[in-house]
Amino acid sequence: MKAVRIHQFGGPEVLTYEDVPDPQPRRDQVLVGVKACSLNHLDVWVRKGLPGVKLPHILGADIVGEVAEVGEYVSGFKTGQRVLVAPMHYCGHCAKCVAGLQNQCREFTVLGNGVDGGNCELIAVPAANVIPIPDSLDFNQAASVPLVFLTAWHMLVGRAGLRPGQTVLVLGASSGVGIAAIQIAKLFHCRVITTAGDEAKLEKARALGADHGINHYKQKISEEVRRITNKEGVDIVVEHVGAATWDESVKSLKTGGTLVTCGATTGPNVGLDLRHLFARQLTLLGSYMGTMGELHEVLKHVFAGRLKPVVDRVFPLSDIRAAHEHLEKSQMFGKIVMNP
């Protein structure tokens, strides 16, 4: 089969489109013919070099396609069935996995990070990770869903305990997590404030349901939040940008507010004045992906059309270097999708 692999870490030039052996599925696995695989910032970080990545390596977490082969021990699937693959690897038998907390498993990793991913034509995965998708969702749309919608759902619902009527600040409206978080917050009838670097992106965010937009290049986020909320602040901040926005995110919280973070795109090292933390009774939460139960939960809303994936651009897999360059320019609104 054709696949994109990295044999060394570096820039987009290390992405190599080449022939590799077809995977040989186990009897408890499903072989999926990949129709689409979207990019995430994780792909860039792995490409540049992360601990534990064994070379050569195939990137790609968000995988959709058709069932090509069903293992002897697998039931409930048929050849040609349209499916997506849960973007995670876990052992399935430890205490955390048995409790339904797969993202706390010691072996937990994202596809394309600690294990090979979907930038290829065929992938063999455990049957438990294969989820049928409706005909109403095309492959490019479906590939734009799993990682970011699961991440945003776990952040807002699983970790921050989102409740109807709250005010939520979503950093980075044009990112996959931002797009998902805006819609999830509106699904819960919350007021949403979001940020972006230009008016065109803010307008698209408003079309998704955002009530207020802040241009973070022209306006100070915390000052605008205080103005919009009549100096009260927000209940929840969805933070995944990191160092560049951290101080503004903390300042935007109301007394007793919650900041939940899943990433550090602009850097991992931030400062924190503990006096503000305890005096204002703030809650800081870390969030990493989500559970299989949460994935099924959020997919119900996607399949019903209540949450909508947004596709920015589609590239053939052979043009993956151009796709990575487009991602690193951060000019997109929505997901970048690869078609093998």
What distance in Å separates the CA atoms of residue 3 and residue 95, rounded to the nearest whole number? 35
Residue 335 has pLDDT above 90, yes or no: yes
Contact assessment for residue 181 and residue 290, using Cβ atoms and an 8 Å cutoff: no
Percentage, residues of the chain above pLDDT 70: 100
Q: Which amino acid is at 76?
A: G
User: pTM above 0.95?
Assistant: yes
What is the CATH T-level fold of the domain 149-286, as seen in this structure? Quinone Oxidoreductase; Chain A, domain 1 (3.90.180)
pLDDT band at 53 (very low <50, low <70, confident <90, very high): very high
Q: So what's the pLDDT on residue 294?
A: 98
Question: 287 pLDDT exceeds 90?
Answer: yes
pLDDT of residue 331: 86
For residues 335 and 38, is the Cβ–Cβ distance under 8 A? yes
- pLDDT attached to residue 191: 98
pLDDT exceeds cutoff 90 at 265: no
* Domain 2-145+309-339 annotated CATH 3.90.180.10: yes
Would you kindly state where each structural domain of the chain is located, as residue ranges? 2-145+309-339, 149-286
CB atoms within 10 A of CB 4: 26
Q: What pLDDT is stored for residue 288 in this prediction?
A: 97
- pLDDT for 210 equals 98
pLDDT (mean) for 301-306: 98
Mean pLDDT of all residues belonging to the chain: 97
3 pLDDT above the threshold of 90:
yes
Same fold, 2-145+309-339 and 149-286: yes
pLDDT digits (tens, 9 = 90+) for 270-279: 999 999 999 9
pLDDT digits (tens, 9 = 90+) for 196-248: 999 999 999 999 999 999 999 999 999 999 999 999 999 999 999 989 999 99
What residues pair up with 169 in beta bridges, in sequence order? Answer: 193, 237
When pLDDT is cut at 50, 70 and 90, the band that residue 108 belongs to is: very high
Q: Provide the percentage of residues in the chain whose pLDDT is more than 90.
A: 97
- Beta bridge partners of residue 5, listed in sequence order: 16, 58
When pLDDT is averaged across residues 305-322 and rounded to a whole number, the result is 98
- pLDDT, tens digit (0-9, with 9 covering 90-100), for 146-202: 999 999 999 999 999 999 999 999 999 999 999 999 999 999 999 999 999 999 999
What's the average model confidence in pLDDT over 92-108? 98
**Are 182 and 310 a contacting pair, CB within 8 Å?**
no
User: How do 82-85 and 130-132 pair as beta strands?
Assistant: antiparallel
Tell me if 108 sits within 8 A of 102, measured CB to CB.
yes
H or E element in which residue 221 lies: helix 221-228
Residue 330 reports pLDDT greater than 90 = no
Mean pLDDT, to the nearest integer, of 39-50? 96
Mean pLDDT of 61-83: 97
How many Å apart are CA 287 and CA 58, to the nearest integer? 25
Give dist(CA 114, CA 136) in Å, integer. Answer: 32
